[in-house]
Structure 1
Amino acid sequence: MARPPILTRPEFEKTMQKLANVPLTLALIDLDNFKQLNDSLGHAAGDRVLRQVERLLSGSLPAGSHVARLGGDEYAVILPESAAETALILFDEIIKHFQINRDADWPRMLGLSVGLAGRPAHAKSSFDLQRAADEALLRAKREGRGRACIYVESKMVLKSNYYPKSQLERLAKLASALGRTEASLLRESLDDLIEKNRGAL
């Protein structure tokens, strides 16, 4: 069966627009220490690595997925109707496969880092979804590279400081029912409160 073509960045943006109302997971992928490979083995070797990564992604992802090369050694994968937790398991397998089947002459530190974010759980708009996936990718890099990370909302005050346990339990049930994070629901409520009392500001 023929594999779908690797999308360009403009094609990726158009695909994201077409899927604007579809629940999906976005993965942003970056090759760790790719410059080191280019510097030591040359750009032809680097191109071979990129082709191998593209074959691995295209051959390992479920039907209906979209793979795009955003530029350099950066890729994006769109997984329609897929939860971030499901995508995490999938990309853990892809990363391990890449590590096990690496060429002997590749630098030891060459690997794949992946950032994952889901809609609607982590963001509604495509812009916010890409920002969340990028933050998850940066965390994967910070935590040692060669791994996949799901976006985790930060800068939220610890909820247990302000809310009784019964309310937190109801919040958790609501988040689960809506397929969203608790933090996003709290932020939405805060936005509504500010808008409702805009005249007092």
Structure 2
Amino acid sequence: MNVLPLLDRAGFDAALEDLGDVPLTLALIDLDHFKTLNDALGHAAGDNVLRSVERLLTGSLPAGSLVAHVGGDEYAAALPDTPAETALIVLSEVIRHFQQADNRDAAWPASLGMSVGLAYRPAHAQTLPDLMRAADAALYRAKVEGRGRACIYVESRMVLKSNYYPKASLERLSKLSAALGRTEASLLREALDNVAEKYRGEL
């Protein structure tokens, strides 16, 4: 049986860098209602769930994939030379396996599930930070659409109304987008991330 190594966040980031510009699908994986299980059954039960998830991911993803525990109940995986549509099939099967009663401890709440966000390089993003943001946006959509599913990133078309933003600012954004070879939406997401980080203490 081919079992992939489980990386930590630093090891995952380094391994991604080592892949260079290889086309790949990045998956961000988050457990649904994990806190509910921890609160009801205790952290030992939570740790058992995490070990189960790790065995499932490292034992089920294709050879050559990267798998990492990036914190809490969050995992990441990279599937080199794998289109997002193929990765969607693979991760959807992982989700179904995790949710089948035969593969679960009877004490686990029915609400405990798994959501996945997928983004593909180069179609969805060129740089690793942008790819992470795109996968995170897809994960958020999976949560909003009902959890227990995998979603592929869809570029959000931000409507910038000139009565909200000065024309000069919109023109500068457009020029910056062209100069960097990035979408205006990705630049705005980066700016929002920076604002959130700046005022983290207020959240």
Q: What TM-score, normalized to structure 2?
A: 0.76
SS, match of residue 46 in structure 1: helix
- Deviation (angstroms), 1:152: 0.1
SS, match of residue 4 in structure 1: coil
Asked if 2 retains the 8 angstrom alpha-carbon contact of 1:140 and 1:146, the reply is yes
SS, match of residue 7 in structure 2: coil
SS, match of residue 30 in structure 1: strand
Asked if 2 retains the 8 angstrom alpha-carbon contact of 1:32 and 1:145, the reply is yes
- Deviation (angstroms), 1:55: 0.6
Q: Which amino acid aligns with 1:105?
A: A
Q: Which amino acid aligns with 2:8?
A: T
- Deviation (angstroms), 1:142: 0.3
Unaligned 5+ segments in structure 1 are 158-186, 195-201
Q: Which amino acid aligns with 1:24?
A: L
Deviations 1:127-160 (A, max 9, x none): 1000000000000000000000000001167xxx
1:182-201 equivalences under 5 Å are 191=178
One of 126, 129, 137 as aligned partner of 2:128 = 126
**Residue 145 of structure 1 aligns with which residue?**
147
Deviations 1:164-200 (A, max 9, x none): xxxxxxxxxxxxxxxxxxxxxxx89x615x9xxxxxx
1:152-171 equivalences under 5 Å are 152-155=154-157
**Residue 165 of structure 1 aligns with which residue?**
none
Unaligned 5+ segments in structure 2 are 160-173, 182-203
In 1, Cα distance between the equivalents of 2:64 and 2:138?
Answer: 23
**Residue 114 of structure 2 aligns with which residue?**
112
Asked if 2 retains the 8 angstrom alpha-carbon contact of 1:20 and 1:125, the reply is no
- Structure 1 runs (4+) deviating above 4 angstroms are none
Asked if 1 retains the 8 angstrom alpha-carbon contact of 2:4 and 2:59, the reply is no
Asked if 2 retains the 8 angstrom alpha-carbon contact of 1:20 and 1:126, the reply is no
Moved more, 62-71 or 16-25: 16-25
Deviations 1:98-139 (A, max 9, x none): 100222110111000000000011000001000000000000
**Residue 13 of structure 1 aligns with which residue?**
13
Asked if 1 retains the 8 angstrom alpha-carbon contact of 2:2 and 2:59, the reply is no
Moved more, 16-25 or 116-125: 16-25
Q: Which amino acid aligns with 2:133?
A: R
**Residue 23 of structure 2 aligns with which residue?**
23
- Deviation (angstroms), 1:3: 2.0
SS, match of residue 137 in structure 2: helix
In 2, Cα distance between the equivalents of 1:48 and 1:114?
Answer: 20
Matched residue count: 164
The alignment's C-alpha RMSD in Å is: 1.9
**Residue 74 of structure 1 aligns with which residue?**
74
Asked if 1 retains the 8 angstrom alpha-carbon contact of 2:2 and 2:63, the reply is no
**Residue 178 of structure 1 aligns with which residue?**
none
SS, match of residue 40 in structure 2: helix
Asked if 2 retains the 8 angstrom alpha-carbon contact of 1:27 and 1:133, the reply is yes
